[in-house]
Chains A and B, each alone.
Chain A
Amino acid sequence: MKKALQPDELDPAIDDATDAAQMTDAAQMTDAAIDKMLRLARQRLARAITPIRRSEAHVGLIESPLGRLLAAESPRGLVALAYLDSRDAASILAELRQKFDLIEDSAAAARIGEEIERHLDGDDDAIVHRPIDLSLVVSPFQRRALTRLREVPAGSVVTYQGLAAAIGSPSSQRAVGTTMASNPLPIYVPCHRVIKSDGRIGNYGGGVERKLKLLRAEGFEVDRGDRIPVHAVYGHWQSRIFCSPACSAVRRAERKKWIIFTDAAHARGAGMRACKLCRPA
């Protein structure tokens, strides 16, 4: 039996024939002619793509004291930040790709990593000035909750119920819980500052250990039973007045209207003034 011919050893006749098929004016164009074509083609392509062009997002990995993170920055601001031990990079990238053209940029990621480190070292200014982009958040309710949450400063916490009330849906604490669990920008949108109404710390997308670490780094002292500190003061969201827990005003008003500060100094730092009735220290 004859040995099967390999494709590359076939009769020259076939190659001649295929060569002949390739030989046309068009195929024999010079480099200069191709250049000319490409210039035209590029212009046409640019025109056709402009209307469907996605914005760019710069993405990169960060090695931080909170573990490995993935960060993405759009032209409008930080658009995604994820703990890679609790979320799979591929799924976040897939989500981002639907809206953005991704560009790997480890320098941009490193800048975010530095901010997070400074924040953990107690620099309250480190992360608050970076613009954020909530493009990955589809629901208006969730956007409202996350936007409002940015007003809860370092050194304080708010309850799920309190945050729900603050965006005008007092009975939506579960929906607020879900929103926190799917927060695309942990740390920057401080979902770690949202606790349960009974004063327990509650859950965290990146694990409770990280939540405690962040709260403590921000000066919010949490005791071993994960309870709010004894010297905490209660700041009223609307009136900007803070009281001691024993104040009759605190007992009278609904708990959900309060931001809980670790101490009076933090409440003052957030621009609140002390109640004249209870005179918190």
Chain B
Amino acid sequence: MPQPKKTETPMRLDLPPPFDEAVARHERELMRFLLRTTRDHDDALDLFQETWLRAYRAWPKLESGAGLRPWLYRIATNLCLNRARDRMRRSRVIGDEEIDLARAPASSNGAHEGVLHLKAAIAQLPHNQREALVMRKFGGLEYAEIATALGCSSESARAGVYQALKKLKLSVELSS
């Protein structure tokens, strides 16, 4: 008797993509994200490398491709925040702020000071709000993706960004 035809639906395991494929797929947006966040060519290059190395080491923990992008952004964001924290600690000692000012591009109509002020205000935000804000505004992630990265609901990701923006607004208003 002939064997009954097997079902046509292909059996898939839904594995995460191979690492190199993931690099090829996300390298450009991640580099842009790091450039925007660090505003420094060399820092972006360093953090790019560190992000992918960390991702590679943690790759065995990935069970599927779902949530890969927010996961990568979470690694990158954490690295950016660590670096910013280190810089701030150091700047308290050596007055980095002035060097920053000197190195910054010539600003038009005092926008420059606003930027510095905003930077400080962002640094003072609570951890989750700052991460949510950075991912949303600098990384351009969807709220659902931020939620996956932060391990919270879409609503709280949205609320986090909102609260962060509200605080920044207040801080900008107070300073002007």
Q: Are B35 and A63 closer than 8 Å at their CB atoms?
A: no
Q: Are A14 and B27 closer than 8 Å at their CB atoms?
A: no
Q: Are A26 and B39 closer than 8 Å at their CB atoms?
A: yes
A4 to B155, CA, bound (A): 14
**B74 located at the interface, meaning its Cβ lies under 8 Å from any Cβ of chain A in the complex:** no
A25 to B27, CA, bound (A): 20
Encoded as 1 (CB less than 8 Å from any B CB) or 0, chain A from 42 to 63 comes to 1011001100100010011101
In the complex, chain B residues whose CB is within 8 Å of the CB of A147: none
What distance in Å separates the Cβ of B72 from its nearest Cβ neighbour in chain A? 13
Q: Are A93 and B27 closer than 8 Å at their CB atoms?
A: no
How many residue pairs link A and B with beta carbons under 8 A? The number is: 122
Q: Select B169's contact among A11, A89, A93, beta carbons within 8 Å.
A: A11
Q: Are A13 and B169 closer than 8 Å at their CB atoms?
A: yes
A38 to B28, CA, bound (A): 7
Residue of A at shortest CB range from B164? A7
**B18 located at the interface, meaning its Cβ lies under 8 Å from any Cβ of chain A in the complex:** yes
**B38 located at the interface, meaning its Cβ lies under 8 Å from any Cβ of chain A in the complex:** yes
**A138 located at the interface, meaning its Cβ lies under 8 Å from any Cβ of chain B in the complex:** no
Q: Are A103 and B52 closer than 8 Å at their CB atoms?
A: no
Within 8 A of A (CB), among B15-59: 15, 18-19, 23, 27-28, 31-32, 35-36, 38-41, 44-45, 48-49, 52-53, 56-57, 59
The size bracket of the interface on A is 35 or more
In the complex, chain A residues whose CB is within 8 Å of the CB of B136: 7
A34 to B31, CA, bound (A): 8
A103 to B13, CA, bound (A): 10
**Residue from the set B6, B32, B60, B138 with the largest chain A CB neighbour count within 10 Å:** B60
**A277 located at the interface, meaning its Cβ lies under 8 Å from any Cβ of chain B in the complex:** no
**B119 located at the interface, meaning its Cβ lies under 8 Å from any Cβ of chain A in the complex:** yes
> Can you give 15 A-B contacts (C-beta < 8 A)?
A7-B136, A10-B165, A10-B166, A18-B168, A20-B118, A24-B105, A26-B40, A37-B31, A41-B49, A44-B45, A45-B23, A45-B53, A52-B57, A101-B59, A103-B15
Shortest 8 CB-CB contacts between residues of A and residues of B: A97-B60, A61-B11, A24-B39, A7-B162, A26-B35, A27-B36, A20-B111, A7-B161
Binding site for A on B (CB under 8 A): 6-7, 10-13, 15, 18-19, 23, 27-28, 31-32, 35-36, 38-41, 44-45, 48-49, 52-53, 56-57, 59-61, 63, 104-105, 111, 114-115, 118-119, 122, 136-138, 158, 161-162, 165-166, 168-169, 172
Binding site for B on A (CB under 8 A): 4-7, 10-11, 13-14, 17-18, 20-22, 24-27, 29, 34, 37-38, 40-42, 44-45, 48-49, 52, 56, 59-61, 63, 68, 70, 89-90, 93-94, 97-98, 101-104, 106
Known: A21-B119, A34-B31. 11 other contacts (CB 8 A): A14-B168, A17-B115, A17-B118, A29-B35, A37-B44, A45-B23, A48-B49, A52-B56, A94-B60, A101-B18, A106-B12
